[in-house]
Amino acid sequence: MDEKSVYRTNIIGAREVEGTVTVDMDKNTVYKTNSFYWNTKGSDFLGAIVLPFYGAFVSEEKCQLFGDVSGKKMLEIGCGNGQSLQYHGERKAKELWAVDISEQQIEKAAQHLKACDLSAKLICAPMEEECGIPLDYFDFVYSIYAIGWTTDLEGTFCRIASYLKKDGVFIFSWSHPIHKCVVAEHDILTFKKCYFDESWYSVTLDGGALTLSDRKLSTYVNALAKAGFVIEEMIEQSDEDLMESMGENNDFAEKAKMLPVTFVMKTRKR
């Protein structure tokens, strides 16, 4: 912990987690910390979120944001274990590409896709950086719970716009910023963090560290607009069936009934 670090709130699921401190953001330190976490821990603690799910309580099967992807060129940002690429491969996408900062996640994705008899071009790099992805090439760029790891939201959205053909679609999901402010326990919701606080923090999870910031919804909307995207649809609603499937007295499902825990944006390049 550096001298400026101060303890603060971080919320995962329904509860506050210990071991969170505010930090200064240095891009290269964040790359190093976060790639080490994903290389060593993967999704073992946080759990993978992959298509058809956009988050715990939102699914593509209900939302139908992609439509028919057959013959389409797809790029995933932060592909993790490769299961979302598999989803599109099985729906006859023409080309599958992905970028991820973690060598281990890329390796897992490569092995998974090979076992599914699918091929993909997988690139190990931070989403923020130039990494040889072709320009004006893709019909869809998408990201399932990975965009928020960027150290440069506007720069990343501009890069994503450059990868898309004109009228190409960019779809992403991330934790809803309101969810990151509220703790739920025994039917009581408590506002624990300032919604407007976008300061960077480091959190210790399962013996590993991750560094990130909780951005406001307007920060996402304004960065999309600056990068030349038009928002076609935004999903905040939790799916009743998915909440019910968690069973009774599940704090996270009870929280999701009261406020959005995930948001999904479907946008189009102008």
Ligand X SMILES: C[S@@+](CC[C@H](N)C(=O)[O-])C[C@H]1O[C@@H](n2cnc3c(N)ncnc32)[C@H](O)[C@@H]1O
The answer to the question of residue 173 lying near ligand X (CB under 6 A) is no
The answer to the question of residue 55 lying near ligand X (CB under 6 A) is no
The answer to the question of residue 49 lying near ligand X (CB under 6 A) is yes
The answer to the question of residue 78 lying near ligand X (CB under 6 A) is yes
The answer to the question of residue 98 lying near ligand X (CB under 6 A) is no
The answer to the question of residue 101 lying near ligand X (CB under 6 A) is yes
The answer to the question of residue 141 lying near ligand X (CB under 6 A) is no
Q: Which of 150, 202, 213, 267 binds ligand X (CB under 6 A)?
A: 150
Shortest separation between residue 189's beta carbon and ligand X, angstroms: 25
The answer to the question of residue 157 lying near ligand X (CB under 6 A) is no
Shortest separation between residue 226's beta carbon and ligand X, angstroms: 19
Q: Tell me the site size for ligand X, rule CB under 6 A.
A: 24
3-state secondary structure the chain: CCCCCCECCCEECCEECCCEEECCCCHHHHHHHHHHHHHHCCCCCCCCCCCCEEECCEEHHHHCCCCCCCCCEEEEECCCCCHHHHHHHCCCCCEEEEEECCHHHHHHHHHHHHHCCCCCEEEECCCCCCCCCCCCCEEEEEEECCHHHCCCHHHHHHHHHHHEEEEEEEEEEEECCCHHHEEEECCEEEECCCCCCCCEEEEEECCEEEEEECCCHHHHHHHHHHCCEEEEEEECCCCHHHHHCCCCCCHHHHHHHHCCCEEEEEEEEC
Shortest separation between residue 241's beta carbon and ligand X, angstroms: 21
Do 174 and 262 meet the contact criterion of CB atoms below 8 Å apart? yes
Instruction: Using the minimum distance from each CB to ligand X, give the nearer residue, 97 or 254.
Output: 97
Instruction: Using the minimum distance from each CB to ligand X, give the nearer residue, 114 or 257.
Output: 114
Shortest separation between residue 265's beta carbon and ligand X, angstroms: 15
Instruction: Using the minimum distance from each CB to ligand X, give the nearer residue, 55 or 254.
Output: 55
The answer to the question of residue 127 lying near ligand X (CB under 6 A) is yes
The answer to the question of residue 211 lying near ligand X (CB under 6 A) is no
The answer to the question of residue 86 lying near ligand X (CB under 6 A) is no
The answer to the question of residue 145 lying near ligand X (CB under 6 A) is yes
Do 109 and 136 meet the contact criterion of CB atoms below 8 Å apart? no
The dihedral through the CA atoms of 270, 143, 132, 118 has a sign that is: negative
Q: Which residues bind ligand X (CB under 6 A)?
A: 34, 38, 43, 46, 48-50, 78, 80-81, 84, 99-102, 105, 126-128, 144-146, 149-150
